[in-house]
Structure formats: C-alpha cells, structure tokens
Amino acid sequence: MESDEKIGIVGSKIMQMQPNNRIWSAGGKISGITKRTSQYGQDVMDNGQFNQPRDVDFVSGCCMLVRREVFERIGLFDEKYFMYYEDVDFCVRAQAASYRVLYYPDAVIWHNASASSDRSFRDYYRMRNHLWFVRKNYSMRVIGLFSIGLLSFAERAGRILMRKVIRFDSEKITKRLFELGRGFLHGLT
C-alpha cells in the first residue's frame, strides 16, 4: 500500500481449514452479465499458482486491509447486507472512487468457511444480497434485475436439485428451495 496511494484495499490468500492445502479465496471476480461473484482458486490445491499479487474485483471481508482514506471517502460496510456481499459492495464502491483492490498472497490466513450457518440460511442471504448488490451498484431497470435474479435463481436451484436428487433428501431440497425463493423475492424489494 505504501508503494501506490491508489491501492485502497488489500486482501490475503485465504486457505480452507479442511481439507488441508486447499484455497478458499485468492481474490474474487464479478461476472459481466449476471454480476455473480466467484473466488479465484476456490477449492483448488495450493501449488503456488496464485502466488502473484494482482488487481481483483473484490477481496473477502474475512481478511482485508483498508486504507483509512477509503473509509473517509466511501463510508463503512453497508449494514443492510447483514452477511454476504457486504465486502463485494465495499470493494466496488472503493473502485468507483478510483481505488485499486489488490490480492496479496504473501499474507495468508486459514478460514473455517460457513461453519456457523446452514445451507438454506446461506442460500437466502446470498440470493437476496446478490439482487440488492446489483440494484445498488449497477443502474439497471427493474426488468433487467428480475432477469438477472431469475437466471441466478434457476442456476442455484438447479445445483441444489442435482446434488439432492442424487442423495434423495426431499426435506432438505424443499427447505433450500424455499429459502432461495424467499431470498429472490426479498431481493427484489
């Protein structure tokens, strides 16, 4: 950060607690059409392939270093999100204010991802907050937001169904799809 005053946020390499030597995040990217997020290197063995610092769309809030001036200029995390997408939103706002977001792999932490929340709980907040994030940061018309939400809903619902049909766990399927649908509807409001 000292080498470039435009670097506003720096994030570390984040490793999974279990299984060993698997990456949880090496910075993140936002897709062009749906604005869905994904983590570079997620669930990949760490063989040094993500050992170079680079600019990314966002870094995880579980480990980020933020220049004080960024807070002064753009404010704090948006509390409306509660969980999921608050870090993505913060990084996008920082970039809109001309700051860089940098992944820095020499700093490493271990993260026990989602240890405290069940899947249906996460499904709800990820869906709802994805729609809020798109609506807040990308001036799209309501029909565009609905289309993105519908695509996102269909993709996530399809993944849930495929996993659960193989195991045939109808109670979990129903609960997760209900929370996903609830998150979709709340995300539109």
- The pLDDT of residue 38: 93
pLDDT score recorded for residue 54:
98
Query: Is the pLDDT at 143 greater than 80, yes or no?
Result: no
CB burial readout 167-188, b (16+ within 10 A) else e: eeeeebbebbbebbeebbeebe
Q: What is the arithmetic mean of pLDDT over 122-126?
A: 86
Residue 143 C-alpha from the chain's centroid:
23
What average pLDDT is seen over the chain?
86
Decide if 88 contacts 27 (C-beta within 8 A).
no
* % of the chain surpassing 70 pLDDT: 86
What one-character-per-residue DSSP string does 43-69 give? Answer: T-B-SSTT-S-EE-SB--TTSEEE-HH
Model confidence band, residue 102 (pLDDT cutoffs 50, 70, 90): very high
Residues 6+ apart with CB under 8 A from 61: 77, 86, 87, 90
Q: Is 43 left (phi over 0), alpha (psi -120 to 50) or beta?
A: left
Q: Residues 21, 22, 25, 30: is their CA dihedral positive or negative?
A: positive
Q: What is the pLDDT of residues 35-67, one digit of tens each?
A: 889 999 999 999 999 999 999 999 999 999 999
Residue type, 32: G
**Between 121 and 168, where is the model more confident?**
121
- What pTM does this model have? 0.79
For residue 10, give both structure tokens.
Answer: 């720096």
pLDDT class of 9 with cuts at 50, 70, 90: very high
Task: Give the lowest-confidence range in 28-42, 63-77, 89-103, 154-168.
Answer: 154-168
Q: Mapping DSSP to helix (H, G, I), strand (E, B) and coil, where does residue 40 land?
A: coil
Give the per-residue pLDDT at 165: 58
Helices 119-137, 86-96: inter-axial angle, 10-degree rounding: 20
